[in-house]
Amino acid sequence: MGMPCLKIEVSMEDTVCVTLTLTRIEACRLLDNARLLQVAQFKKHWDDERFSSIPITERRAALYTAIPAMSAQQQLITVLACGIWAKNRR
């Protein structure tokens, strides 16, 4: 296994772009871990008092807005899943 390739770009708009090259196995394991963390975060916050009055259909978006780390986690899950799926389709 070679060294992972990591590229980070910081823009003026207060965003960070991360490019990371992983093996398929590393990507799958990172995806599994990200999903487990996401489930744990939802279990932790779903019934919090500040979210309990929000309709269930809107609660996920409210959690992502209130807890930016969960939104970033979901973006990571989406990107990894799409990348793994695209690699498997070749």
3-state secondary structure 40-85: HHHHHHCCCHHHHCCCHHHHHHHHHHHCHHHHHHHHHHHHHHHHHH
**Is the model's pLDDT at 1 over the cut of 60?**
no
Greatest Cα-to-Cα distance within the chain, rounded to the nearest angstrom: 49
pTM attached to this predicted model: 0.79
**Is the model's pLDDT at 2 over the cut of 70?**
no
Cα 24 to Cα 31, 41, 53, distances in angstroms: 10, 25, 41
Do 84 and 90 touch, CB atoms closer than 8 A? no
Overall average pLDDT of the 18-35 stretch: 92
